[in-house]
Chain A
Amino acid sequence: MSFIEVPNGQDPLLKIEKTEATASEQKAEEKDTKKPEQKEMKEQLRKPKEELHQGARNGVEQRIAAHNVRLTALQNQKDRHDTDVATLKRRADEKKEHLKDTDLAADLVTDTATAMQAPEGKTKPGPVEIPEGEDRQETKQEQMLAKGVDQTKAPEKNVNPEIAQAQVAALEQADVRTEQNTEVADTKAAQKTESADSARGVGTNQAGGQIA
């Protein structure tokens, strides 16, 4: 016994296919009726949706434009500041250059001060110390002293013998002349004394006579 009644001897499978086809047709019909509704709703939402999206885009663009203005001002402020710092550093460098001369003067003062303190310090060379011992070498001064040369005296100059002889002769002549002159002067003086004495003797006698 079959659960499916087959009227007029029809194939039961055919009956099932027919039923499924009817259902799909109904669905298609429902879809067709829904499509205009959806279309209408989409059309209604299109405008507000576009407005929303456009508003969002405008909001983004306006904010970015405003930010660009503000951030550019901030960037300019930073650039000005960097320039100020660079100028400050450049001026400091210029000042250093200017002070270099003074710095050299300071070096000079330091060197002078060091040189003045040299006996205690090591910058100024002190007397050469000669080590005592068998290997000690005599200094040039000691060698000269040993030879009887007094180094403290000024060294004799090289003298031309002819000139020296002439100088000696001249000196001798001068001495002779001086002696002669002295003799002449002595003779004259003696003569003068004698004559004066004689004159004085007469006078004295005369005077004595008068006194007597």
Chain B
Amino acid sequence: MSISPQAPPAGAAPVIPTGQELFDVIMGQIEPELTTEGVKTLDQKYQNETAEGLMERKKRYDLAFERYDQAYEGYVGTLQAQMQRYRKHSFNQAEMEDRQSEGNFLDRIHTAMFKAA
């Protein structure tokens, strides 16, 4: 299962969520009972659970955490790639602005010198 962060607009910095936000986003799509809000209701929800039900649930949770860890690595990898793109883009942007400004200035100097000659 691939869960990726939302792509930021071109040139904009990616939004870095908090640990809890990130956990809830990913786990909410895998096992909603294990989100930060979901775990608070487990005791009440499974009051009359049978032994078989408990065993089955335990297996489900184990699998959910395993899938979560995989999804998390993919999510953070994408987030880091977005960060690198943002870093590269913003440096390129600053360099281009500076180059354009310098280019205009040099053009003016060049024009002035050759006109004067």
Contact = CB atoms under 8 A, between A and B. Distances in A.
Nearest to B58: A52
B94 A89 contact: yes
A65 B22 CA distance: 11
B67 to A, nearest CB: 13
B36 A45 contact: no
Interface in A70-90: 70-71, 74-75, 77-78, 81-82, 84-85, 88-89
A211 interface: no
Contact of B19 (A45, A49, A64, A84): A64
Interface in B5-20: 13-14, 16-20
Contacts of B91: 84-85, 88
A53 B18 CA distance: 24
Given A52-B54, A109-B113, A110-B115, A71 B34 contact: no
Contact of B116 (A52, A59, A84, A109): A109
Nearest to A84: B91
A116 B116 contact: yes
Contact of A103 (B19, B108, B115): B108
A71 B18 contact: yes
Given A64-B36, A67-B22, A92-B98, A99 B115 contact: no
B49 A60 contact: no
Contact of A92 (B42, B50, B97): B97
| Secondary structure type dominating chain A contacts | helix
A75 B16 contact: yes
A41 interface: yes
Nearest to B95: A88
B92 to A, nearest CB: 10
Nearest to A77: B83
A71 B54 CA distance: 34
A68 B18 contact: yes
Contact of A74 (B83, B105, B113): B83
Contacts of A85: 90-91, 94
Interface residues of B, number: 48
Interface string B74-117: 00100110010011001100100110010001001101110110
Interface residues of A, number: 47
Given A92-B98, A109-B113, A112-B116, A78 B16 contact: yes
A66 B19 contact: yes
B39 A56 contact: yes
B61 A64 contact: no
Interface of B: 13-14, 16-20, 22-23, 27, 34-36, 39, 42-43, 46, 48-51, 54, 57-58, 61, 65, 68, 72, 76, 79-80, 83, 86-87, 90-91, 94, 97-98, 101, 105, 108-109, 111-113, 115-116
20 contacts: A45-B49, A49-B49, A52-B57, A52-B61, A56-B34, A59-B34, A59-B65, A60-B39, A64-B23, A66-B19, A74-B76, A78-B14, A81-B83, A88-B98, A92-B97, A92-B98, A106-B108, A106-B109, A107-B112, A109-B112
